[in-house]
Every structure is written in C-alpha cells, then in structure tokens.
Amino acid sequence: MKTRMLVSTVACCTLVVVGAACGSSGSTPKADKTTTSAPAVKGGVSVTGAWARMSPAGAANGAAYMTLTSPTEDKLLSASVDAGVAKKTEIHETVAAGSPMGSDDSAADDSSSTMPATSAPMMSSDTTMAGQMTMRPIDSLELPAGKAVELKPGGHHIMFVDLVKPLTVGSTLKVTLTFENAEPMVVDVPVKEG
C-alpha cells in the first residue's frame, strides 16, 4: 500500500507539472483565444476545433476533442453518435491514476484517505517517477460562463465505446451534445490522423 501511495503521489505531481508546463500535445489546437472569438450564439454553446482521431486497426474505442464555450453557466451532460458508429458514447477525464474522484484540478492532493479501494492491482514495485495516467467516465462537464473548456488529449475527451466500424480519416461524425440548460446541438466532427 505504501508503494502504491508513493507511486500515486509522484504521478500526481507529474501531472501537475506537465499540465502547467506543456498541457497540450503538439497536435492540440490552443483554446485560449477562443474565449473572445467564439461565435455569439445567444443562449447557445459555441464549439470550435472539433476532431476525432482515426481509430487504429482493431481498436475498440475512439476519442473526440473540441473546445466548448457557453455564454452562461452550463453543464455538458452527454454526447452521442449514431449507433452505426459506436455502441456507447461517454464523457471521460484522463487523470493521474489514484487521484481522488472529480478533483483533477487539485491532483497534488496526496492524502492517503482518498485512495480508491482496489482489488488486486497488478503493479510493478518500483517507485520511480511513473507518470501513470488513467481515465474514467464523468457524469457531466462544467461549463463556466464565457470560459473556453478544452477537451484535449490527456484531458477530457468524448469517448466512443465499442466502435462498430473504424473511424477513418476524411469521414465526419455527427455528435449530439446535450446540456443542462442549452438546447441539444449536433456537431460535425471530422476524423483526422491526429
């Protein structure tokens, strides 16, 4: 248990530093500027930079990314695609493994009481910096008023579970987003190499 705590603690710190230093991968569009340039759709959520990564051969799951900006406080509640694309669609967050639920913004919390109970985890005993990451579904995604919320590799993503067919470059997915307040909307999500 001590080993696992150590690993998790170090992994948490890693994520914080990585997040601060280079939170986005080279392939990720920057979202900072979309706050001011977002289309003014009254009462609606603006979506920019939507894309999904082509799925590797045999991959069961896929992911889509985009930047959401809501003029008023709102929540992204769900995303869905045609049943011919994937059996299920979820909103996921990628976090440092072992960090407490729903607190990825304070991942440096190293309190041992927040460790999730695990059933026989298989883990190397080495406690070297591991940068271990995991992902899990979330019920909703907060959209603070006027703030660009970026879904990006290594952070939040829309996950297509059990792909019915591979996501191929050049195709476009129709992803339906539902919100707590705003009307549902359908977003064109082009599939790119990533």
Partner 1 sequence: MVRRLVALAALALLASSCGSGAAGNADAFRGAVITPPRSVAQVVLPDAADGNRPFTFRAEKGHLLLVYFGYTDCPDICPTTLSDIRKALRDPAMAGHAGKIDLAMVTIDPEVDSGKLLTRFLDSFHPGAHALRTDDPDALAAAAKAFGATYSVVDPGHNLPREVGHSAITYGVDDKGNLVAQWTFGMPSADFAHDFAMILDGAELRAEQ
| Site residues for partner 1 per CB under 8 A | 7, 10-11, 13-14, 17-18, 20-27, 53, 55-63, 92, 94, 97-98, 118-119, 121-137, 153-154, 157, 159-160, 193-194
Nearer to partner 1, 27 or 37 (CB): 27
Residue 44 beta carbon to partner 1: minimum distance, rounded to whole angstroms:
27
Minimum Å gap between C-beta 122 and partner 1 is: 6
Phi, psi of 117 (to 5 degrees): -65, 135
Could you tell me if 159 and 63 are in contact, meaning their C-beta atoms sit under 8 angstroms apart?
A: yes
Residue 36 or 124: the one with the smaller Cβ distance to partner 1 is 124
CB within 8 A of 45, min separation 6: which ones?
68, 69, 70, 71, 74, 76, 143, 177, 179, 182, 185
Q: Which pair of structure tokens corresponds to residue 10?
A: 């170090």
Neighbours of 163 (CB within 10 A): 17
Least CB distance to partner 1 at residue 30 (A): 12
Pairwise CA distance, residues 165 & 57, whole Å: 10
Closer CB to partner 1, 38 or 98, in the complex: 98
Q: Which is nearer to partner 1, 59 or 77 (CB)?
A: 59
Q: Which amino acid is it at 5?
A: M
DSSP 8-class letter at 155: S
Smallest distance from partner 1 to CB 54, Å: 8
Please identify, using beta-carbon distances, which residue of 129 and 186 lies nearer to partner 1: 129
| Residue 154 structure tokens | 């290594």
Listed residue (131, 126, 133, 143) closest to 179, CA to CA? 143
Shortest Cβ distance from residue 34 to partner 1 (Å)? 20
Q: Shortest approach of partner 1 to residue 61 CB, angstroms?
A: 4
Give the Cβ contact number of residue 145 at 10 Å.
10
Closer by beta carbon to partner 1, 43 or else 87: 87
